[in-house]
């Protein structure tokens, strides 16, 4: 199974998208006057990261907010069919929340000095471990 999930040769333009996301996030951090990591004390950086982790947690909660077209997640509740328009609105709402999560995630990466190349390499390594775990009944 691991061979089937090997990472394909991704065209360079697609690989560059991750780098572009990192660059855009750094520009946004500059707009917010968040200093470069090298200019932060460890304590300041840790507080910033803790706040970002909390923000990700809150955004995940917002995805589950049914009143805002979030995911219908309660197994004990019987839901009505929301229809195509409502499903489309729900999907859009969830995508917007996922983008918020991505913003916070990228900022954490930048603060931890994890770049797109390292992130991609570590993702590949972890994916292979996870595939091995599944193949071995983890």
- Domain holding 68: CATH number? 1.10.287
What count of other Cβ atoms lies within 10 Å of the Cβ of residue 78? Answer: 6
pTM of the model: 0.81
The reply to whether 27 falls in a domain is: yes
CB 52 within 8 A of CB 100: no
Give average pLDDT by consecutive 10-residue segment, the chain, 138 residues.
51 76 95 94 96 97 81 78 76 92 98 95 95 92
The reply to whether 53 falls in a domain is: yes
The reply to whether 120 falls in a domain is: yes
Q: Which domain holds residue 125?
A: 22-135
Which of 8, 98, 95 minimizes the C-alpha distance to 60? Answer: 98
The reply to whether 3 falls in a domain is: no
Q: How many domains does the chain have?
A: 1
Identify the pLDDT of residue 11. 63
Identify the pLDDT of residue 99. 97
The reply to whether 8 falls in a domain is: no
The reply to whether 14 falls in a domain is: no
CB 22 within 8 A of CB 110: yes
Instruction: Return the residue matching tokens 């996870």.
Output: 130
The reply to whether 17 falls in a domain is: no
The reply to whether 16 falls in a domain is: no
Identify the pLDDT of residue 84. 76
CA distances from 37 to 43, 48, 119 (A): 12, 11, 17
């Amino acid at each position: 199974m691991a061979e089937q999930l090997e990472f394909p040769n991704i065209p360079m333009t697609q690989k560059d998208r991750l780098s572009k996301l990192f660059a855009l996030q750094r520009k946004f951090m500059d707009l917010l006057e968040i200093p470069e990591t090298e200019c932060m004390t460890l304590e300041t950086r840790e507080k910033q990261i803790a706040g970002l982790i909390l923000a990700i947690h809150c955004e995940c909660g917002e995805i589950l907010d049914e009143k805002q077209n979030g995911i219908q997640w309660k197994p004990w509740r019987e839901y009505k069919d929301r229809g195509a328009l409502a499903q489309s609105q729900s999907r859009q709402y969830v995508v917007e929340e996922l983008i918020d999560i991505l913003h916070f995630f990228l900022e954490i990466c930048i603060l931890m000095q994890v770049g797109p190349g390292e992130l991609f390499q570590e993702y590949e390594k972890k994916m292979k471990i996870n595939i091995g775990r599944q193949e071995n009944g983890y």
